[in-house]
Amino acid sequence: MNQWLTVKQLASLRKCSERYILSLIKNGKLQARREGKRWMVFVDDSEQNPEQVTEQIPDNSEVITLLKQQLEEKDNQINKLHQLLAMEMQEKLKLMESLPPPRKSFWDRFRRK
């Protein structure tokens, strides 16, 4: 299959994103040329099976569980802060209710009613 394919065609063939193909082009891992606004990528017969060409995704389960734990902690912190904020707002309202009414301005005496 010595032919030139568009980025979109190669991405669908390799079952990966177009951005990934463009990053491979940018890093010089794929031979490509520009035709107008499109990139054309050279696909060679000697290239491996498309499933083997895409990089293996490392097992990130430990990182994912750590991030989930951190997310739960942050959610708990946010809930606590919301509760504290609600309590502060209630205290502020109680204080405002206990204040005497504001005094009239000196100039209120001279305004027309």
Range of the domain at 71: 58-99
For residues 62 and 45, state if they share a domain: no
For residues 68 and 49, state if they share a domain: no
Please say whether the beta carbons of 43 and 5 come within 8 A. Answer: yes
For residues 7 and 45, state if they share a domain: yes
Give me the CATH number covering residue 26.
1.10.10
Largest interatomic CA distance in the chain: 96
Q: Which two tokens stand for residue 51?
A: 């499933």
Which of the residues in the chain have pLDDT under 50? 48, 50, 52-54
Q: Which residue has the tokens 């190669």?
A: 10
Identify whether 106 is part of a domain: no
For residues 8 and 32, state if they share a domain: yes
Identify whether 85 is part of a domain: yes
Number of domains in the chain: 2
Given this model, what pLDDT does residue 77 score?
97
Given this model, what pLDDT does residue 66 score?
92
This prediction has a pTM of 0.41
Given this model, what pLDDT does residue 48 score?
47
Cα–Cα distance measured from residue 52 to residue 42, given in angstroms and rounded to the nearest whole number: 17
Within 8 A by CB and 6+ apart from 54, the residues are 14, 15, 16, 20
Within 8 A by CB and 6+ apart from 40, the residues are 4, 5, 6, 32, 33, 34
Identify whether 64 is part of a domain: yes
Given this model, what pLDDT does residue 13 score?
86
Identify whether 105 is part of a domain: no
Identify whether 113 is part of a domain: no
SS3 content of the chain, % helix, strand, coil (to 5): 55, 10, 30
Which phi and psi angles does 56 have, rounded to 5°? -70, 135
